[in-house]
Amino acid sequence: MTVSNNGMAMPAFPPKIDCSEAIQDSPRFRATVAQHTAYFNRLENRLNEMLRHITAMIDFSKNYVNTFYKLTVSVNQLCDESFSGNPLASTTFQGLSEAYAHTVNLFRTYYDHSNVVIYTKLSNFIKNELTKVAESRAHFENMSQSMDEALVKNAGISRQKPADATEGRNALTAVGTCFAHTTLDYVANINIAHAHKDHMILDALWTLVRESSAFFSKGHATFDEWTAADNGAVADTIQTFAAKSKLIERKMQDVHSLVPKVSSKIEFSRYMGN
């Protein structure tokens, strides 16, 4: 066991497989293979866990983008329904709506591409590398069983029958040779999977970082352009409306001063009427 950065005990990386031990099918080889099998099982379980998280991210991002789009539609409807009589407000709404649309497009492109790419790369590693290891392990186990059966059969042949003994030895040699090649294929696939996992998994994870960097860079460039075109118009409009609202507030504070005058006029009208 090894210790991780956070102090937790972690399984040690399995030792390298000795090909001479593999050909001999020694107990040490079997023990080492068992460690590699456990290692790849842990690796596949962790990668599948990551794929489930990415799948959830894909679902959440689709919902986020779709909801953001609906918000943009609602903003446009709000402008048409409640601000169509105010040209300055309508123009400002249009500018903000364009900014919302840019945001939706940026998020949609980012989420659709980045999540799918990392998912594809990780799942391809499982399908192409770990599946090969599993398949070669199955062939190895089948040949191991055939080797055991050939040994038992050869041991049961009477040595007093030279022809049968020769046939048994030949059969055992053929099975043994096939078993040796199958074992070496298994070892080769284990070593290849270890070699590929380093760059393939890191590249998959790096994809998300690259896509995130590109997303923020593109977003920065997009809104730099939008801000330049806006040239402070939205901020100026908001300040104009804020100043106007304060003026209206002050006028509304004085509106009650009209009450005595109105009351006097009402009383005078009643008097004249009588």
pLDDT score at 5: 57
Nearest residue to 108 via CA among 211, 206, 203: 211
Helix (H, G, I), strand (E, B) or coil at 2: strand
Using 50 as the pLDDT threshold, list the residues of the chain that sit under it.
Answer: none
- Measure the CA–CA gap between 124 and 171, rounded to whole angstroms: 40
Tens of pLDDT, residue by residue over 191-246, are 999 999 999 999 999 999 999 999 999 999 999 988 888 778 888 988 998 998 99
161 domain residue, yes or no: yes
Does residue 222 share a domain with residue 154? yes
Does residue 60 share a domain with residue 172? yes
| Domain coverage including residue 254 | 233-274
- Measure the CA–CA gap between 206 and 34, rounded to whole angstroms: 31
pLDDT score at 184: 95
- The helix (H) or strand (E) run that includes residue 10 is strand 9-10
86 domain residue, yes or no: yes
4 domain residue, yes or no: no
145 domain residue, yes or no: yes
- Measure the CA–CA gap between 49 and 59, rounded to whole angstroms: 16
List of residues 6+ apart from 136 with CB closer than 8 A: 182, 185, 186, 189, 190
Number of domains in the chain: 2
Does residue 260 share a domain with residue 204? no
| CATH number of the domain enclosing 211 | 1.20.1270.60
Of 197, 216, 231, at which residue does a domain stop?
231
38 domain residue, yes or no: yes
Does residue 251 share a domain with residue 221? no
Contact between 234 and 95 (Cβ < 8 Å): yes
Does residue 260 share a domain with residue 212? no
How many H helices and E strands in the chain?
A: 7, 2
165 domain residue, yes or no: yes
Look up residue 95 and give its two tokens: 């500018």
113 domain residue, yes or no: yes
H-only helix segments in 231-257: 233-253
pLDDT score at 250: 85
Q: Is 268 exposed, middle or buried (0-12, 13-18, 19+ CB in 10 A)?
A: exposed
Does residue 172 share a domain with residue 42? yes
3 domain residue, yes or no: no
Does residue 134 share a domain with residue 260? no
Does residue 187 share a domain with residue 59? yes
List of residues 6+ apart from 37 with CB closer than 8 A: 137
Does residue 104 share a domain with residue 67? yes
pTM confidence score: 0.78
Q: How crowded is residue 173: how many other Cβ atoms within 10 Å of its Cβ?
A: 12
Does residue 251 share a domain with residue 265? yes
Does residue 194 share a domain with residue 109? yes
pLDDT score at 85: 87
pLDDT score at 261: 59
Does residue 225 share a domain with residue 241? no
Tens of pLDDT, residue by residue over 222-235, are 999 888 887 788 88
